Amino acid sequence: MPRTRTLIATGGVLVEILATAYLILIAYLIGVWMMNDSVAFRMTPADWYLEALTRFGQSSIVAALLGIPSHYFNRWAFRSRPTIGMVLTWVAFGSVSISGLLGAVEFAVTKPYM
C-alpha cells in the first residue's frame, strides 16, 4: 500500500509541474494579448493601465485555481514533510502570478493593438 501511495504522489507532482508550466504560459498570454482596434483607439492612457490591472486580476484568479487544489494535494502527498508541500504550493501559485504580472506590465507599457 505505501508503494501505491508513493506512485500516486509522484504522478500527482508531475501533473502539478506540467499544469504549472502550462498555466504560466496562459497567465502571461492573458496579460499581454493585444486589444482590438475599435476599442484601443477609444482608450485613454489611464484605460490601458486599468485594463492591465484587470488582466492581472484575471491571471491571479487562474493562479488561485491552481494553488487551492495544489495546496490540498501537497498536504496529502507530503504529509511527513509539510514544509516541502507548502513550498511547492507557493512556488506554483507565485510563478503563475508573477507571469501574469509580467504580461500585464508589458501590456501597459507597449499598448499592443491590431
Contact between 48 and 111 under an 8 Å Cβ cutoff? The reply is: yes
Q: What pLDDT does 1 receive?
A: 46
- CB neighbours (10 Å) of residue 70? 23
Q: pTM for the whole thing?
A: 0.89
Contact between 77 and 4 under an 8 Å Cβ cutoff? The reply is: no
Q: What is the mean pLDDT of the segment spanning 55-64?
A: 96
- Cell numbers of 13, please? 507532482
* pLDDT single digits (tens) 65-103: 999 999 999 999 999 999 999 999 999 999 999 999 999
Arithmetic mean of pLDDT over the chain: 93
